[in-house]
Structures are given as structure tokens and as C-alpha cells.
Amino acid sequence: MSEKIIPGKHLWYYEQYTGGDVGFAIKISNMVHSEQTEYQRIDIFDNPTLGRVFALDGITMTTEADEFMYHEMLTHVPMFSHPNPEKVLVIGGGDGGTLREVLKHESVKKAILCEIDPAVVEAARKYLSTSVEFDNPKAEIITENAAEFVKNFKDEFDVIIVDSTDPTAGEGGHLFTKEFYRSCYEAMTENGVLSAQTEDPVYDLNWLKIAYKRISSVFPVTKVYQGFMPTYPSGYWLYTFASKGVDPIKNLRKESVDKMIPSLKYYNSEVHLASFALPNFLLREIERMKNS
């Protein structure tokens, strides 16, 4: 080949979805950072359309173009369902996007981010704009296995947000077990609520089924909700809300949501309520899981 390799023309990132028959390709205009850590491979690069892209083990975690869709839905649905969230635990989320959204809530006095891989935190701090709140005095960053870390607490957190990698990537599998969800339940206050990313229903429906069955076996209130996420598999993403008694529809603090609207790009109270209105194929799957 006589032509020189030209970034953005010849260099591509390719993510293969579950099953191996479908994938997603992104041109690399500038390679920013790449390393293999004890836990996973980290890649950060630029794309003319998506901006900065962050991937772990070949799976897209964030892009500048759409990360707000994921982080706002994962964070604000539980935060605005809780009556007064003061202490929050973010599990995973080493890019910092979920922590950023949590700290938009004035009621929060303490937010702990527990990320297993210190290299992710360091790379985010250097190269990702989502890390903007890492030095906030209300924030504490812990680099430990969250599945073990959460066992240290009883009746401690108002909100727990599970911003994990896919269960097939890195150490993500530790955050999809019944034991882990039980530890979260015990670490939460009486009005505690939890949200977790639980994959897409097109390529990874089985992971939703596994997560839902395990979460619902621990929490008396368990509801699946949905949102758009263009650069994730299928562009259609699912989350699971769980609590000891709080209902995410009846207990939505709409007035508080309205006050935050100027700082939000995706989430609002109408989106919150609509996200729990699921299509028939998902309702049928959830009903089967309840009856199995």
C-alpha cells in the first residue's frame, strides 16, 4: 500500500455487539490515549461528529455528542424520586458524568464515586470533560471493587446509582449479582432508591432479564424505564429503578425538576414519566419474568 495512513480516513474503531453479527464503526481523527490496565483496555480518541470518545475493552462508554442522555436518565430519575437525597453512592462511573449530574442537586451533602480501576479515573481527569466535578468538596473518589465496598455500609445512602460497564467487560459482572443487589439494599436508608443501567432489549435482552429478576427478588419496588442512547447498541437503552417503597411516578418532585431545567439537556418531568411507559414486547417479557 503506497498511500500513507491518514487519521480519520484509514483509522477506525469498531465495536462488535453481542452475538457478533452487528457492530458500530467510528472514524478516529485523533488518538488521545490508550492503555491496558490490570482490569481492562482504555481507549480515548476524537471523532469529527461525536467529539471525544471513551471506550473500555472495545465497548463505547461515552461520547461528547450524547453522553448527557445516558447520564441524565440514570441519575435524575432516582434523584428526583427520592424526597431529599443527601448522601449518594455512584458505583462505577469512572468517567465522572453521573457524579456531575448528582452534584447538580443542592440537597446532596456527600457523593461517593467508587470505581474499581484507578487508571480510568486518572484518564478521565486528564482527557474527559465529564470529570468536571472530581474536585468538588462534596465528592469523594474511591478506587475499590464496589461489590465489596458497599458491604461496609448499613442504612447509609439515600440513593445508589449503578453506572457499571457491561457485564461482559472488565469487572462489570460483579455488579450484576443478587449478592451485590442485596448489599445495596442493606446500605440504603429507609427511603432509599437505586437505579442501574441494564443494557438494551435488542442485543442484550437476556442481561435485562437476569438483572431484573435479581433486583426484583431483593427490592419490593422494581420498575424498568427507557431512554434513547444513539451510540449504545440499538440506540435504545434500559434502566432499572428499585426502592424500598418509593414510587418513581407517584413520588416525582416535579417542582424541583422544573428548577433544574436550565442545566439539563435531556431530562424533564415529562420524559421522567414517559420513560416508564414501555412497549408491549417489553411489558410481556417483564410479565413473564414476574411469573417465572
Q: How confident is the model at residue 6 (pLDDT cuts 50, 70, 90)?
A: confident
150 and 256 inside one domain: yes
104 and 244 inside one domain: yes
pLDDT at residue 260, rounded to an integer? 98
pLDDT digits (tens, 9 = 90+) for 137-194: 999 999 999 999 999 999 999 999 999 865 544 444 556 788 999 999 999 999 999 9
| Of 234 and 169, more confident | 234
- Which of 20, 44, 63 is the endpoint of a domain? 63
42 and 133 inside one domain: no
Query: Are 101 and 76 spatial neighbours (Cβ–Cβ below 8 Å)?
Result: yes
Q: Where are the alpha helices (DSSP H) in 103-177?
A: 118-127, 146-149
Please determine, for residue 291, whether its predicted confidence score (pLDDT) is greater than 90.
no
pTM of the model: 0.94
Please determine, for residue 49, whether its predicted confidence score (pLDDT) is greater than 70.
yes
* Rama region for 191: left / alpha / beta (φ>0; ψ in -120 to 50; rest): alpha
| Of 79 and 172, more confident | 79
- Label residue 92 exposed, middle or buried (CB < 10 Å: 0-12, 13-18, 19+): buried
193 and 173 inside one domain: yes
pLDDT at residue 54, rounded to an integer? 98
Q: How confident is the model at residue 111 (pLDDT cuts 50, 70, 90)?
A: very high
pLDDT digits (tens, 9 = 90+) for 89-102: 999 999 999 999 99
Query: Are 240 and 203 spatial neighbours (Cβ–Cβ below 8 Å)?
Result: no
pLDDT digits (tens, 9 = 90+) for 240-263: 999 999 999 999 999 999 999 999
229 and 132 inside one domain: yes
Q: How confident is the model at residue 2 (pLDDT cuts 50, 70, 90)?
A: very low
- For residue 216, is it within any domain? yes
Please determine, for residue 238, whether its predicted confidence score (pLDDT) is greater than 70.
yes
Return the closest-CA partner of residue 204 out of 179, 176, 184.
Answer: 176
- For residue 207, is it within any domain? yes
53 and 109 inside one domain: no
Residue 141, SS3 per DSSP: strand
Query: Are 12 and 26 spatial neighbours (Cβ–Cβ below 8 Å)?
Result: yes
- CA angle 266–17–5, rounded 5-degree value: 95
38 and 97 inside one domain: no
| Of 206 and 71, more confident | 71
Annotated catalytic residue, options 57, 95, 158, 163: 163
39 and 71 inside one domain: no
Please determine, for residue 284, whether its predicted confidence score (pLDDT) is greater than 70.
yes
78 and 176 inside one domain: yes
- For residue 6, is it within any domain? no
CATH number for the domain spanning 35: value is 2.30.140.10
- For residue 136, is it within any domain? yes
The helix or strand, by DSSP H or E, that contains position 69, with its residue range, turns out to be helix 67-79
> Does the annotation mark 155 as catalytic?
no
pLDDT digits (tens, 9 = 90+) for 210-223: 899 999 999 999 99
46 and 24 inside one domain: yes
135 and 31 inside one domain: no
- For residue 200, is it within any domain? yes
The mean pLDDT of the chain is 93
pLDDT digits (tens, 9 = 90+) for 131-151: 999 999 999 999 999 999 999
- For residue 218, is it within any domain? yes
The helix or strand, by DSSP H or E, that contains position 281, with its residue range, turns out to be helix 280-291
74 and 214 inside one domain: yes
- For residue 259, is it within any domain? yes
- For residue 7, is it within any domain? no
pLDDT at residue 55, rounded to an integer? 97
pLDDT digits (tens, 9 = 90+) for 9-47: 779 999 999 999 999 999 999 999 999 999 999 999 999
- Which of 47, 63, 79 is the endpoint of a domain? 63
The helix or strand, by DSSP H or E, that contains position 115, with its residue range, turns out to be none
CATH number for the domain spanning 148: value is 3.40.50.150
Residue-range definition of the domain harbouring residue 276: 67-291
Domain count, the chain: 2
Please determine, for residue 280, whether its predicted confidence score (pLDDT) is greater than 60.
yes
